[in-house]
């Protein structure tokens, strides 16, 4: 209720009542404004690094081939590990540069990492693993040429 005898008292009470509401709205909107400023690359890098870590935490393809008795071809697994890490690193480098990567590039890398994760199927035969790794290396080479 307005106090006509002392208008300053009325304004200060109304201000004090609205201050918590204002602070609550500020706290709610400030993080979303900060997140809106960041480029989608930040989240994309987190996802790609996470997928790469899943493959590498299992020991990578080199370890897979050593465990499956494909020791004579384990260098191919090492190449696949290196190229996977290199393509994620190249994506990060693009994100840091002025030339931002496209969403299609992110999806292509994510699909390759998904294929890499699937190759750890224990029911796969050695021939199927070799064929899958060779295809992965070929696809990685094609994508690396596009990036560089």
Predicted local confidence at residue 68, as pLDDT = 87
- Residue 8 CA from chain centroid, whole number: 55
Predicted local confidence at residue 8, as pLDDT = 59
- Per-residue pLDDT of 116-134, as tens digits, reads 988 888 788 889 989 999 9
91 and 48 Cβ atoms separated by less than 8 Å: yes
- For residue 123 the two structure tokens come to 């029911």
- Per-residue pLDDT of 33-47, as tens digits, reads 555 445 678 889 999
Q: What gap in Å lies between CA 55 and CA 77, rounded to an integer? A: 12
Q: Where are the alpha helices (DSSP H) in 38-102?
A: 41-57, 60-67, 74-96
Q: What gap in Å lies between CA 77 and CA 61, rounded to an integer? A: 4
**Which residues of the chain have a pLDDT value below 50?**
36-37
3-state percent breakdown (helix, strand, coil) of the chain, nearest 5: 80, 0, 20
Domain ranges of the chain: 1-37, 39-147
Predicted local confidence at residue 18, as pLDDT = 72
- For residue 7 the two structure tokens come to 């208008």
Give the residue among 136, 4, 121, 144 at the shortest CA–CA distance from 68. 121
């Amino acid at each position: 209720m307005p106090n006509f005898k002392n208008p300053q008292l009325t304004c200060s009470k109304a201000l004090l009542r609205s201050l918590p509401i204002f602070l609550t709205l500020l706290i709610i909107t400030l993080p979303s404004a900060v997140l809106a400023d960041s480029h989608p690359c930040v989240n994309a890098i987190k996802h790609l690094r996470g997928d790469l870590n899943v493959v590498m935490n299992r020991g990578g393809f080199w370890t897979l081939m050593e465990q499956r008795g494909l020791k004579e071809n384990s260098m191919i697994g090492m190449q696949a590990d290196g190229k996977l890490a290199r393509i994620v690193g190249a994506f990060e480098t693009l994100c840091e540069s002025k030339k931002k990567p496209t969403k299609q590039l992110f999806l292509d890398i994510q699909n390759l990492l998904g294929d890499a994760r699937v190759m750890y199927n224990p029911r796969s035969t050695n021939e199927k693993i070799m064929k899958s790794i060779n295809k992965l290396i070929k696809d990685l080479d094609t994508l690396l040429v596009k990036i560089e």
